[in-house]
Structure 1
């Protein structure tokens, strides 16, 4: 069972349930946070709540691809984890031009994971919205990741696809530049749906595929599996929660293991697709931030 949000009118979004046989049922909420508040106050499971709401409903006649999909959850904050996959560690070392005993080697093996604030609600975009590339970077890539949708106590409510856009040259120049390498306008996308955690048999067996198109031609495709993740989700969440205030709908991105070749950088007009079959396809065009009017 997946939850989506789509534009019903210019002023109003509609939440809906998407079943595994691709039937869409409207839910009586305009946002996922409203839905969370409803379920949390009743101390019932999310899947039970959805099944009760759609039991006597008729499916929406429109197909998913006909809907104007919106952010499935408008998170106050999106956090991210770094160097949780071996391939990510190696890529960070290459950026920083180090070979042994680097900070990235140390954090990969350390007890404490790397966590950082990736985005806020106003910086995060949804399906089909443009992601921006920085004007002061010459080496930029998408980072396809599995995201955990949390309630305020740190419980994993669902799973979502995330794109943790990254400026490799900025971070490689100095690890203290990480915030600038990771956070700017439209530097994070989330979507297209939230897969309820109760409906996932093994969250360490998600296939993640990233495709990048340029002039309608496929120029990169890479895949990996969340079984390659070094740390457990609960471990990452526990460090996010330490002495920290979190909110219903917080998203925690769990790190990337799909990285384009070292000579690759995104360009204006590229199209990024990130697919996790159990969740869907998150698609975003690429725009040059300097060319976009605010």
Structure 2
């Protein structure tokens, strides 16, 4: 597996050091991964809260952990030696849903199908016939959106997903607790009750404790379509499970070479390769998002809600798999052993293998364990 990072850019991340029995904050220096963990900056949260995290990442002294590619090769489901972790630590991972028209229609279909993939094809055809491409030109929260809402209610297809798709308020939910996201090479988990599910390739923004956007990375918001489709009140069960959130491979800090406009132009690709020989290819173009990333950050953090340790924010996906894998009309669903690769030229590649959440490595190293570890190393 390869990180596929571009040659330029300021990249930071986290790696597990068995000799420290804990994580290290790392920065890319050429081909090397340099451990820059120190008392001033012991965590990713502390780095992002600096006034100039880029300068620190580029110039802080540290010890080489070898090449990044060697770390990537060691980042497996059963890692040996130092390996990559998700770049977030004390930050919760939040996620935005229904930010693209195509995925919004699929959420409506999930709701109408009540989690039954066999009903999805007929419902998809009906919804498309009614809605067509009309939603693409609608600005969420606008007068036109309100008028469209009245028409759709009259046609009997109004949905809670349309409410957050074209209404004034974005859907923002909690995807993963601090320290629980998995990184490059790890297993991603499906709850055992799910039989209809898919990956969701997304851009993830890293924000500091003041809500400032500091950088971007990639994420897989593993989605249980059947569970969420049964009831919106099952969103937590559908989204937040052991190993159900992957982030990485590294965080690209905003600097002179990369910024928010690059995020707005990002083109993500997705490949799912099954042990059965099945291959699924997908894409997600940020140019088609219906809400600007800055608006999504503002709806997440502000006077109404503070995140003193910062947060990572998944921006949603255009990708909604409808290609049949086994049974005609039932679309795509994961099989155990699927390898998921999410790539973007300026952010690299995030690769993970699909397992059941109950079979992934259990989450045992939380915030309290991190504090004890850092204190024991003299870093607090």
SS of structure 2 residue aligned to 1:48: helix
Identify which of 195, 200, 204 aligns with 2:264. 204
SS of structure 2 residue aligned to 1:125: coil
SS of structure 2 residue aligned to 1:88: helix
Q: Which residue of 1 aligns with 2:36?
A: 28
Q: Which residue of 1 aligns with 2:338?
A: 270
What whole-Å deviation, never above 9, does each CA across 1:214-243 have from its counterpart, x for those lacking one?
128451111122111111111111111142
Q: Are 2:59 and 1:52 aligned?
A: yes
Identify which of 105, 108, 111 aligns with 1:93. 108
Identify which of 140, 143, 151 aligns with 2:208. 151
What whole-Å deviation, never above 9, does each CA across 1:151-187 have from its counterpart, x for those lacking one?
0111001101111111101111222222211111111
SS of structure 1 residue aligned to 2:26: strand
Distance 1:218 1:6, change over 3 A: farther
What whole-Å deviation, never above 9, does each CA across 1:9-38 have from its counterpart, x for those lacking one?
34243333226xx53352421797635535
Q: Distance in 2 between matches of 1:206 and 1:293?
A: 32
Distance 1:95 1:39, change over 3 A: closer
Distance 1:251 1:127, change over 3 A: same
Distance 1:30 1:187, change over 3 A: farther
Q: Which residue of 1 aligns with 2:377?
A: none
Identify which of 13, 23, 37 aligns with 2:46. 37
Aligned residues between the structures:
287
Give unpaired runs (5+ residues) of structure 2.
Answer: 1-9, 72-82, 113-122, 128-156, 323-329, 363-380
SS of structure 2 residue aligned to 1:256: coil
Q: Which residue of 1 aligns with 2:69?
A: 65
Q: Distance in 1 between matches of 2:274 and 2:221?
A: 20
Q: Within 5 Å, which residues of 2 pair with 1:99-248?
A: 99=127, 100-198=157-255, 199-201=257-259, 202-215=262-275, 217=277, 219-242=279-302, 243-248=304-309
Structure 1, 94-103 or 271-280: larger mean CA deviation: 94-103
Larger Rg: 2
* Structure 1 position 190, deviation (Å): 0.8
Structure 1, 260-269 or 5-14: larger mean CA deviation: 5-14
SS of structure 2 residue aligned to 1:16: strand
* Structure 1 position 146, deviation (Å): 0.5
Q: Distance in 2 between matches of 1:112 and 1:6?
A: 37
SS of structure 1 residue aligned to 2:229: helix
Give unpaired runs (5+ residues) of structure 1.
Answer: none
SS of structure 2 residue aligned to 1:4: strand
Q: Distance in 1 between matches of 2:48 and 2:203?
A: 24
SS of structure 1 residue aligned to 2:168: coil
* Structure 1 position 210, deviation (Å): 1.1
Question: Is the CA contact 1:141–1:165 (under 8 Å) kept in the aligned structure 2?
Answer: yes
Q: Within 5 Å, which residues of 2 pair with 1:256-267?
A: 256-261=317-322, 263-267=331-335
SS of structure 1 residue aligned to 2:172: strand
What whole-Å deviation, never above 9, does each CA across 1:87-130 have from its counterpart, x for those lacking one?
11011011122633222222211111111111113532111111
Structure 1, 271-280 or 8-17: larger mean CA deviation: 8-17
Q: Which residue of 1 aligns with 2:95?
A: 80
TM-score computed with the length of structure 2 as normaliser: 0.69
